[in-house]
A = this chain, B = another copy of it.
Amino acid sequence: MTATDDDEEVKQANQGFYRAFESLNIDNMRGAWATGDVTCVHPGWPLLKGVERVMDSWKRIFENTAMMQFTITGAVVRVEGGSAWVMCTENINTLVDGKVAEAKVQATNVFMKIEGRWLVVHHHGSPLGVTS
């Protein structure tokens, strides 16, 4: 497999992560992640360690969100062997109290290729300023 194929696979895995996020479905999100010693930083949150704590955090986010749509821009993919990291901007529309709010989050997503699939092992999202 060439580097280009890997790049494309990692891009698709990154898109898959955001489709799982939009679905607000914990089983979809769990399927995008590796198990074990994964880690996660939500905007403003401390580091969460271990798949159970990370999945609990997604459950809480999903329970408090009516709608979330992502447009991903500026994605930079770097693949090194069985590891990869993607830096991208999440342009997010959410529905809060019946109104659409927009936000931008800068993300670093780290992936590992496990049994042929690129799975998230670390997500770090941080606020990049809010538009309109």
Contact = CB atoms under 8 A, between A and B. Distances in A.
Contacts of A31: none
Nearest to A80: B83
Given A37-B78, A49-B76, A106-B47, A85 B122 contact: yes
Interface string A120-131: 011011111100
Contact of A126 (B39, B127, B129): B127
B46 A89 contact: yes
A41 interface: yes
A96 to B, nearest CB: 22
A124 B121 contact: no
Contacts of A85: 85, 110, 122
Interface of A: 37, 39, 41, 43-44, 46-47, 49, 74, 76, 78, 80-83, 85, 87-89, 106, 108, 110, 112, 121-122, 124-129
Given A43-B126, A108-B122, A124-B126, 7 more contacts: A39-B76, A41-B108, A80-B82, A85-B110, A85-B122, A108-B110, A127-B127
12 contacts: A39-B78, A41-B106, A44-B127, A46-B89, A47-B74, A47-B89, A81-B83, A106-B124, A106-B126, A108-B108, A124-B126, A126-B126
